[in-house]
Structure 1
Amino acid sequence: MPAHGAETGVYAISVVAQLLGTGQQNIRLYERRGLLTPDRTSGGTRQYSDSDLAVLKRIGELLDEGLNLAGVAKVLELEAANAKLRIDLKRARARSGA
């Protein structure tokens, strides 16, 4: 059995929909739009991780703020790029002793 972690898919789509108060079709739409990629079992069943739940919550927040799915995709892309840059900067500072 795989270890439970932020990146390990453990939640079924029905559970995720209930936890987030949204429909399963919305979650499938977000996946089709490339906003998240859940794990799949050998039989093809979606399994969502804690990280996927966080992304879905963020999607909901952005939609509530009035963005459309194209805007949501761009914001998620920019947030991921920003997080990577912050990590790179932290590593560079650690190497230079700053």
Structure 2
Amino acid sequence: MKTLQVFEPGVQTVYTIEVAAQLAQVPRRLIVLYYKHGLLSPVTDPAGSGWYFDDEAIRTVRRIEYLRAKCGLNLAGVKLVIGLMDEVERLRAELRFHHRR
């Protein structure tokens, strides 16, 4: 008899903007700048409960920094590249789904 395994996601860790900046190794002001340019989203509403970020946001900041420092992109270029990378990943997931059918 097969048993059903239920997926239970782990507890999501969230970080204050200060801790997120330390983990991503960037100044706090860059996190604010990336938020203002629509490159980064906190997990909470900054106007309500303050700035809190998850692990995905830390990875995003590191990706932004790589594109800026190593590839020489400005913020508009970074936004375009990240959007394209996200679209490629979405399409890959869609292909995987259709191949499983």
Give me the TM-score of the superposition, normalised by structure 1: 0.84
Give, as a single letter, the amino acid of the residue that structure 1 aligns with 2:28: Q
Matched, 1:76 2:82: yes
What are structure 1's unaligned runs of at least 5 residues? none
Give, as a single letter, the amino acid of the residue that structure 1 aligns with 2:25: G
Partners of 1:46 and 1:89 in 2: how far apart?
Answer: 35
Larger gyration radius, structure 1 or structure 2: 2
Match of 1:19 among 20, 23, 28: 23
Match of 2:68 among 63, 66, 73: 63
Partners of 1:88 and 1:43 in 2: how far apart?
Answer: 35
Give the structure, 1 or 2, with the largest relative contact order (CA under 8 Å, sep 6 or more).
Answer: 1
Partners of 1:85 and 1:43 in 2: how far apart?
Answer: 35
CA-CA distance at 1:16 after TM superposition = 1.2
3-state DSSP of counterpart to 2:15: coil
CA-CA distance at 1:21 after TM superposition = 1.9
CA RMSD of superposed structures (Å)? 1.6
CA-CA distance at 1:52 after TM superposition = 0.6
User: 1:88 matched to which residue of 2?
Assistant: 94
3-state DSSP of counterpart to 1:4: coil
Give me the TM-score of the superposition, normalised by structure 2: 0.82
3-state DSSP of counterpart to 1:57: helix
What are structure 2's unaligned runs of at least 5 residues? 1-9
